[in-house]
Amino acid sequence: MKLEPFAMERMQSTYENEVEFNLSESGVYPLSVRELLADPREMDGLLDQALVYTQSNGTRALRASVAALYPGATADHVEVTNGGSEANYIVTWKLVEPGDEVVLMVPNYMQTWGLARAFGGTVREWRLREDAATRRWDVDTDDLARLVTPKTKLIIICTPNNPTGARLTERELDTICRVAGRHGTWVLSDEIYRGAERDGRESPSVWGRYERVIVTSGLSKAYGLPGLRIGWIVAPPEFVASTWSYHDYTTIAPGALSDLLARVALVPERRQVLLGRTRAIVRDNFPVLEQWLGSQAGAFEWIQPEAGAICFARYHYAINSLELAHRLRTEKSVLIVPGDHFGMDRFIRFGYGERPDYLRAGLARVSEVLATIPLASAAARA
C-alpha cells in the first residue's frame, strides 16, 4: 500500500505544539478533566478505574449512549474507536478495494481522500461551490448524479464541512441518499462538527435516510474533548459487526479512562452543557475573526461558517498559500492551514476556537506578515 502524505495532519502533528499561536485547530479550546467531572464522586470513579483492556468495541453503556443520539439505533449499531479518524480509517479500509470508485465531497478533511487512493480506489471529486447570491457554500446534486456510476462503492460527505463550516440541508442529504440508492452505493457521512453550530440549530444528519448510511463522529470537535480520542461508527449492525474485526488490527480498544470519561460527557444534561459551551465559543469568537478579516483592506472574501470553529477565507495577496503558511510559522510562530492542503490555493483556513485574547494576538501577528505582501493584480485574481 502506497500512502500519500496527509499534508494538513503532517503539518499539525509537526508544529501545533511548537508554535506560540496555533490557529490551525478546527475545534474549540478543550476542557480539562476537572472541568468535565463536575461531581467529585466522578473523580473517585476515574481514580478507581482499573487500567484494563476495556471492551474493545466500547463498553455497552457507552455504545448505548452514542446510540441514543441516532433515532432507531441500538448499541449494536455502534462501534467506539480511537477518534473520528480511526472510524474513518476502518470504514474506508473495509469498503474500498482496487478498482472501486469513491465520490468525495471537496474540499474535505483529506484523510479519506488519501485512504481511498491508498486502498486502490479512484477518487472522483464532488465540488462545493461558493454561491455569491446566497452567500453559501453550495452543492450541485446533478453533478453528483453524473459522478456516481455502478462502480461507485462509496460516497463520502462531511457535514458540517471541514474546511468551509457549511452544512448540508435535509433535502440535499435526501438527494444524496437517493442517488446512492440507484446502485446500492454506501454513504459515509463524517459528522464530527455536528453540535458546533453558531446558530445553535443542530445540523441534519444523514442517519435514518437510507439503509446503507454510515455516520462517523466523536468527541473531538463539538464536545471540546479531542484528547480523549473517542470516536464512533454508527451503521447497520451487520456492517458494524464486520468492521469490529478490522479494529483488532488497528488499536484493539479505546482507552479505559477515555471510555469512562466519554460516558460522563454523554450523560444528557452534561452533553447539553458541553455543546452549549462550544456553541457559545463559536458564536462569540467568530465576530473577532470577522472584524479582523474585514479590516484587511478588502484582501479577504469569506462565506460565514455555519458550524465548527473554522473559516475558509479567500485572499488576494500575491503569495501562494503554502508559502504564506511557512512565513507565518517561521517569522511569527503562527500556525494556519494553507488552502493548498485542500487543493485550493489562495485560501486560508483560520481556526477561531481559541480564547479571544489569544485569537486577537495571533491575528495581529498575521497582519504583520500580510503588511509585507503586495495585493495580487486584478488580472491575477480573475
Q: Which is nearer to ligand PLP, 85 or 152 (CB)?
A: 85
Q: Which stretch binds ligand PLP (CB under 6 A): 42-50, 66-74, 81-89, 285-293?
A: 81-89
**Closest to 153 measured CA to CA, from 111, 183, 126, 175:** 183
45 grid coordinates: 470513579
Q: Which is nearer to ligand PLP, 218 or 305 (CB)?
A: 218
**Does residue 315 contact residue 347 with C-beta atoms inside 8 Å?**
yes
Determine which residue in the list 204, 224, 231, 353 makes contact with ligand PLP, applying CB under 6 A.
231
Is 192 among the residues that bind ligand PLP (CB under 6 A)? Answer: yes
Shortest approach of ligand PLP to residue 142 CB, angstroms? Answer: 25
Is 83 among the residues that bind ligand PLP (CB under 6 A)? Answer: yes
Give the whole-angstrom CA distance, residue 153 versus residue 101: 6
Q: How many residues bind ligand PLP (CB under 6 A)?
A: 13
Is 218 among the residues that bind ligand PLP (CB under 6 A)? Answer: yes
Is 84 among the residues that bind ligand PLP (CB under 6 A)? Answer: yes
Q: Which is nearer to ligand PLP, 121 or 226 (CB)?
A: 226
- The CA-based angle 192-285-327, given to 5 degrees, is 85
Shortest approach of ligand PLP to residue 195 CB, angstroms? Answer: 13
Q: Which is nearer to ligand PLP, 152 or 220 (CB)?
A: 220
Is 85 among the residues that bind ligand PLP (CB under 6 A)? Answer: yes
Is 220 among the residues that bind ligand PLP (CB under 6 A)? Answer: yes
Q: Which stretch binds ligand PLP (CB under 6 A): 78-86, 117-125, 329-337, 366-374?
A: 78-86
Using CB under 6 A, list all residues that contact ligand PLP. Answer: 26, 83-85, 109, 158, 162, 190, 192, 218, 220, 226, 231
